A and B are shown apart, each in its own frame.
Chain A
């Protein structure tokens, strides 16, 4: 079965320092992978997506993620955190086969940014 594991439930960084949010996936097929962000009282917003083109994917707000098949990882990074980055981040895989319609979410990583 397809699954997504976010390795940290909470990450805290200082403003201006790098951000690393870790994600591993489990899939028998070449997956479609996404990162979504959820700010309090707002809808989920797509940050970036990987669909078997370039392995380094650039997203909005300076975020990027690298697909590493050998490590089954899709970690999210940003060189310099901003206070507005504080939110919940979800690593997501798209279903396949009989579950093509749905997205499979990790449990989320809450990012805190200290001034």
Chain B
């Protein structure tokens, strides 16, 4: 399968714990995006990278959230001191610069107890 992959698919954690998610984009795609989707809502943009540079961050991305893409390939999204409000589906997408199509992964569903 050469699509966008995300790991893990599901994560259950207790409030206050840290969690980290991984996204592997399509191999030749230089742009990588993170979105968050809560129940009954459309995905909301969090941040995106072009190669290893983080070019844009949403106001939704609080100080407890950090994303990296150290070598311009896979990316990680870490949430520190999780809160129940962080429970959501976290989606990753990738694209080729200047092409208007983002390819989405299956998402990581986070449940904070």
Contacts and interface: CB of A to CB of B under 8 A. Distances in A.
B4 A43 contact: yes
B62 interface: no
Given A42-B106, A43-B4, A43-B106, A101 B43 contact: no
Interface stretch (B11-19, B65-73, B80-88, B96-104): B96-104
A36 to B, nearest CB: 8
Contacts, number: 62
Contact of B58 (A41, A92, A102): A102
Given A101-B33, A105-B42, A108-B40, 14 more contacts: A43-B105, A44-B93, A100-B56, A101-B31, A101-B56, A102-B33, A102-B48, A102-B58, A103-B33, A103-B35, A103-B43, A103-B45, A105-B44, A108-B41
A108 to B, nearest CB: 5
Given A44-B91, A108-B41, A108-B42, A103 B102 contact: yes
